[in-house]
Amino acid sequence: MSVWDRIFAAGYDRVMSGPEKATLRTHREALIPQAKGRVLEIGGGTGANLPFYDGVETLTLTEPDKPMVHRLERRLQERSPGALLLRAPAEDLPFEDNSFDVAVSTLVLCTVDDQPRALRELRRVLKPGGRLLFIEHVRADDQRLARWQDRLNGLQTRLGHGCNCNRPTIETITAAGFEITQLDRDVLRKAPPIVRPLAVGVAQTNGHPA
Ligand SMILES: C[S@@+](CC[C@H](N)C(=O)[O-])C[C@H]1O[C@@H](n2cnc3c(N)ncnc32)[C@H](O)[C@@H]1O
């Protein structure tokens, strides 16, 4: 565990408080209660979605980063003592096929090392017809901003603890075998321009790869 890992985890809620109040909270409030049944959240971070789960059958969270796991453990004890937390990356989920009704990813697909692989894993562990609920900042449709995202992505990944600002996440979700059934485009207010294009939605899988 590096010092930077610890600093990032300790400062995360404070750094995100502006975008959280200005944009993210509204989307979490609307989206997360749609998670029902057996629910998996990847990259749970400090537990920002926990207040918004409502009536799930089971809640399982994964988080690979040790300092984040410590924070999330504490948050779970306060808010969701019945939830299960496992230390694992989204690219290698320690679950059987068809284990969950719903998966949740908020600001995580920007950071996973291998986005197509993480999405294949999500598809594998979701039941046929299972849904992925997501809030992700993405590559800009505006070509000028997208070029700036490409130019500044090296700096962004260093400062943002592995967070990429230029990923075409919606296209990658679709390429992994999901159908987008709900999509809102928004702007992540109170955040630097290169991470402002925001995609909020639901994707559904109807089957599994051979
Ligand atoms: C920007 S934070 C988002 C945290 C939380 N989901 C939220 O909405 O506030 C990104 C999270 O993804 C986690 N992460 C990084 N690499 C990951 C991976 N390969 N698989 C799953 N989560 C990962 C980080 O440790 C961090 O907790």
Tens of pLDDT, residues 32-48: 999 999 999 999 999 99
Query: Which tokens sit at 113?
Result: 């090392």
Ligand 1 centroid, distance to 192 Cα (angstroms): 19
> What confidence tier does 210 reach under pLDDT thresholds 50, 70, 90?
very low
Ligand 1 centroid, distance to 101 Cα (angstroms): 21
Check if the beta carbon of residue 139 is closer than 8 Å to that of residue 198.
Answer: no
Check if the beta carbon of residue 203 is closer than 8 Å to that of residue 180.
Answer: yes
Q: Name the residue at shortest CA distance from atom 19 of ligand 1.
A: 112
If one counts every other C-beta atom within 10 angstroms of the C-beta of residue 171, the result is 12
> What's the average model confidence in pLDDT over 150-154?
98
The mean predicted confidence, pLDDT, of the chain is 95
Asked if the model's pLDDT at residue 20 lies above 60, the reply is yes
Buried-state track 102-136, b at ≥16 Cβ within 10 A, e below 16: bbbbbbbbbbbeebeebbbbbbbbbbeebbbbbbb
pTM above 0.85, yes or no: yes
Query: Which tokens sit at 165?
Result: 């600002």
Domains in the chain and their CATH numbers?
3-205 (3.40.50.150)
> What's the average model confidence in pLDDT over 153-163?
95
The residue whose CB lies within 8 Å of the most ligand 1 atoms, and thus the one to mutate among 87, 111, 119, 198, is 111
- Return the ligand 1 atom nearest residue 113 CA: 19
Q: What is the pLDDT of residue 209?
A: 53
pLDDT by residue (tens digit) across 115-149?
A: 999 999 999 999 999 999 999 999 999 999 999 99
Please report, rounded to a whole number, the percentage of residues in the chain having pLDDT higher than 90: 89
Compute the residue count for the chain: 210
SS3 assignment, position 124: helix
Give the residues surrounding ligand 1 with Cβ less than 6 Å away: 42-45, 48, 63-65, 68, 89-91, 106-108, 111-113, 162-163
Using only C-alpha atoms, the chain has a radius of gyration, in whole angstroms, of 16
